[in-house]
A = this chain, B = another copy of it.
Amino acid sequence: MNKVTLAQGGGGQAMQKLIAALFMTAFDNPLLATQEDQARIPLRWLNDAGDRLAFSTDSYVIDPLVFPGGDIGKLAVCGTANDIAVGGATPRWLSCGFILEEGLEIATLQAVVRSMADTAREAGIAIVTGDTKVVPRGAADKLFINTAGIGVIPAGLEWGAAQLQPGDRLLVTGTLGDHGATILNLRERLGLEGELASDCALLSPLIAAVRDLTGIRAMRDATRGGVNAVVHEFAAASGYGIVLNEQALPLKPAVRGVCELLGLDALNFANEGKLVIGVAPQQAQALLGRLQAHPLGRDAAIIGEVVPQRGVRMTGLYGICRTIDLPHTEPLPRIC
């Protein structure tokens, strides 16, 4: 049996066998092993880490399943863990729901599960509860994953877009749009293989390296919608405006190439391993130094500033400042 069958989502023996042979083995941990309908996590473990639970979810529908720099499994762990980490929490426990298309190669599923398990294990994250559905051929495209995750925010940490003040600096932790450009290149057959790789990464080690710095106001990972979506969210939630410096935006040459080829802006491209951070001006250099000292933040840069006047603007090469709108959509569907 080398393909997923409807019976493997049917609640009978076939499903039990798939769960035991694949998921229980790969994700093995004491909370999962109880096989109750719910994972049971002692609250004292949470209380030891802080005073607020951080809870987030994402579904992953990326096409193709495997890409330079990652695959849907790595993405499903990192993406949700990052959404928890940007609140200041350490991501600890994930749930995982698979929707499988009948006929999916078992080898493909095994590779994805192995990737999830490896990514989670390296990060100290346990996949503690899950669900598997199989839909008939044609009712889904190969494989979708949902993860929801839990972490705890340390007492006193109050990062949030509403904390931003005029004068605060905005930093990005590395080059823009690597993930989006990589997927665009694959799907549109632009022929830039070898030069492009997704930045898909778990960001909690980088965040842990700066978490004790005072002056951090807000942090988001720039995924769908790119850095542009985050700065628009920051502007809207704070009630102030943001001015970006075009020359300061870090870009890989290959990503710049994709943008020029297609007339697109990397500011709107998806990232899967980049933070946008708002910080008090007097702490901006200290934060930049800490970020650049970490492997995940080598290309960090100060890219803009919070200003009193609402809206998002960008100062270009010749000092001219133009309004930046949030585009109607991403250039690509199924980017994550």
- Closest chain-B Cβ to A308's Cβ sits at a distance in Å of 22
Known: A61-B133, A130-B57, A140-B144. A333 touches B99 (CB 8 A): no
A86 near B35 (CB under 8 angstroms)? no
Return chain B residues, CB-CB under 8 Å to A95: 55-57, 148
A115 at the interface (CB under 8 A from B): no
Whole-angstrom CA separation of A46 from B63 in the bound complex: 39
- Closest chain-B Cβ to A74's Cβ sits at a distance in Å of 18
A53 near B34 (CB under 8 angstroms)? no
Q: How many residues of A contact B (CB 8 A)?
A: 91
- Closest chain-B Cβ to A99's Cβ sits at a distance in Å of 5
Q: Indicate with 1 or 0, residue by residue over A21-58, a CB within 8 angstroms of chain B CB atoms.
A: 00000000000001111111111101100111111111
B99 near A329 (CB under 8 angstroms)? no
B40 near A52 (CB under 8 angstroms)? yes
Question: Which of the residues B53, B56, B99 comes within 8 Å of A46, measured between beta carbons?
Answer: B53
Question: Which of the residues B13, B86, B138, B237 comes within 8 Å of A328, measured between beta carbons?
Answer: B13
B131 near A58 (CB under 8 angstroms)? yes
Whole-angstrom CA separation of A15 from B34 in the bound complex: 39
A297 at the interface (CB under 8 A from B): no
Whole-angstrom CA separation of A210 from B87 in the bound complex: 38
Known: A38-B86, A40-B52, A57-B96. A11 touches B141 (CB 8 A): no
Central interface residue in A89, A98, A133, A223, by most chain B CB within 10 Å: A133
B37 near A329 (CB under 8 angstroms)? no
A10 at the interface (CB under 8 A from B): yes
- Closest chain-B Cβ to A162's Cβ sits at a distance in Å of 8
Q: Indicate with 1 or 0, residue by residue over A165-203, a CB within 8 angstroms of chain B CB atoms.
A: 000000000000000000000000000000000000000
Question: Which stretch of A224-232, A248-256, A287-295 is in the interface?
Answer: A224-232
Known: A10-B328, A40-B52, A50-B43. A58 touches B97 (CB 8 A): yes
Whole-angstrom CA separation of A265 from B221 in the bound complex: 51
Whole-angstrom CA separation of A327 from B333 in the bound complex: 40
A36 near B160 (CB under 8 angstroms)? yes
A118 at the interface (CB under 8 A from B): no
* Closest A-B pairs by Cβ, 5 of them: A11-B225, A11-B224, A10-B329, A148-B148, A7-B329
A to B CB contacts below 8 Å, 28 in the list: A7-B329, A9-B333, A10-B329, A11-B329, A12-B327, A13-B326, A15-B224, A15-B329, A16-B326, A37-B83, A37-B220, A39-B56, A40-B54, A40-B55, A42-B52, A43-B50, A57-B95, A57-B97, A57-B130, A58-B131, A59-B97, A59-B133, A61-B133, A61-B139, A97-B146, A99-B144, A102-B333, A133-B334
Contacts from A to B (Cβ < 8 Å): 6-16, 34-44, 46-47, 50-61, 63, 83-84, 86-87, 89, 93, 95-99, 102, 128-131, 133-136, 138-141, 144, 146, 148, 150-153, 160-162, 220-221, 223-226, 229, 233, 237, 268, 270, 325-330, 333-335
